[in-house]
Amino acid sequence: MKVFGEKPSPEIAYMVHQNPYEQITSLKVIDELIFPSIQSGKKPEDARKDAVALAEEFGIGHLLFKPPYQLSLGELQIVQILAGVLAERKAILLDEPFAHLSRRNAKKLLSILEDFFCVVSDHRIEFMDCFPEVINLGLSWKEYKGSTPELGEIIFQGEVSLRENEIVAITGDNGSGKTRMLRRMAVEMKNQGLDFGISLQNPNYSLTESTVTGEVEDGKAIEEFQLGNVKNRHPHSLSYGQAKRVSIAKAFRHRIVLLDEPTAGQDIGFRNALIEILRKNRKTAVIATHDEIFAEKCDRVIEL
């Protein structure tokens, strides 16, 4: 393989990983942004000046002196992508760059990437038309007509009132507090003694068993979440998207499910199917999501 007529190397291409936590190198956002530039030979003062200018342009100037671990996953994804832009390599390779971004931030990112040679691997096909060339690796999906929910009595009264069998989406920009709200609701539900499960934004945080079957404990859920071919695998050996499905299926043991960005890293088929899976199993759900198409299929949307 040749890249611009040369052998592939880190000096030619910069890769932004799917999980932004894998690339953290520094204790402050500003240092995270300039690290690849300095590696490329840029003077620290010039790298810092460029980083501050790009951060202000993107609207994350207020994050520059925060520790990366204090950011939301979406904010951290923005930081790692901008670090790749600032690295000034000939090519930028991005793995699921839109997975945790709001539509507004995704569009801002696209406007910046227009000036660079990029290869993007992503499941959010709504942005497909923004690229001059698209390679489809066998993508196909089934459309679901949707079903009418049969809502019951209020079963949770807290920051949000929740009725039985209701599916509620929480939306908002990156850093608006969706994950924080979901966690507060989990605390309130625990105090009220409700039967609930939660699927965290980073699925590996909630996977503790040695096999997928051990995590899910339900053959029907393994089948519904298309995990049969990995049921004997260790959960931490899976791709991000597969691990996400295991985490959601594990939460399905409970009457109420709290899902943080469940469609991140998922193909369009699963994104379409998830609402139907929730309905069929008569689950009550609160879902924090940036996926506006998915949110529209929920019974109610709360925007932060």
Instruction: Map 106-160 to HEC letters.
Output: HHHHHHHHCCCCEEEECCCHHHHHHCCCCCCCCCCCCCCCCCCCCCCCEEECCCC
User: Residue 229 falls within a domain, yes or no?
Assistant: yes
Q: Are residues 272 and 199 in the same domain?
A: yes
Give which of 251, 246, 154 is closest to 195, Cα–Cα.
251
Are 161 and 297 within one domain? yes
Position 9 confidence tier, pLDDT thresholds 50, 70, 90: confident
Whole-number pLDDT of residue 27: 96
Q: Is residue 58 part of a domain?
A: yes
Query: Are residues 117 and 166 located together in one domain of the fold?
Result: no
Give the Cα separation of 57 and 211 in Å (integer): 45
Task: Indicate whether 148 belongs to any domain.
Answer: no
Confidence (pLDDT) at 2: 82
In a domain, 93, yes or no: yes
Q: For 169-207, what is each residue's pLDDT tens digit?
A: 999 999 899 999 999 999 999 999 999 999 998 898 889
Single out the residue of 59, 38, 58 nearest to residue 47, CA to CA: 38
pLDDT at 210: 96
Distance CA 30, CA 20 (A): 15
CATH number at residue 252: 3.40.50.300
- Measured CA to CA, the distance from residue 236 to residue 158 in angstroms comes to 34
Residue 38 lies in a domain: yes
Contacts of 174 (CB under 8 A, 6+ apart): 72, 74, 75, 78, 100, 101, 102, 105, 290
Low-confidence winner among 143-147, 222-226, 271-275, 297-301 (lowest mean pLDDT): 143-147
Q: Are residues 123 and 240 in the same domain?
A: no
How far is CA 112 from each of CA 22, 116, 128, 171, rounded to the nearest angstrom? Answer: 23, 8, 16, 24
Each residue of 221-273: pLDDT tens digit?
Answer: 999 999 999 999 999 999 989 999 999 999 999 999 999 999 998 988 898 89
Q: How many domains are contained in the chain?
A: 2
According to the model, what pLDDT value does residue 140 have? 74
Same domain, 85 and 169: no
Domain-embedded: residue 8: no
Looking at the structure, tell me whether residues 168 and 277 fall in a common domain.
yes
Expressed as residue numbers, the domain containing 212 is: 154-303
Query: How many helices (H) and strands (E) are present in the chain, helices listed first?
Result: 10, 10
Q: Tokens in use for 216?
A: 């899910």
Start-to-end CA distance of the chain, whole Å, equals 47
Q: Indicate if 179 and 299 belong to the same structural domain.
A: yes
Average pLDDT over residues 126-135: 91
Q: How much of the chain, in percent, has pLDDT values that exceed 70?
A: 98
Domain match, 295 and 207 both: yes
The reported pLDDT for the residue numbered 142 is: 73
Mean pLDDT of all residues in 155-167: 92
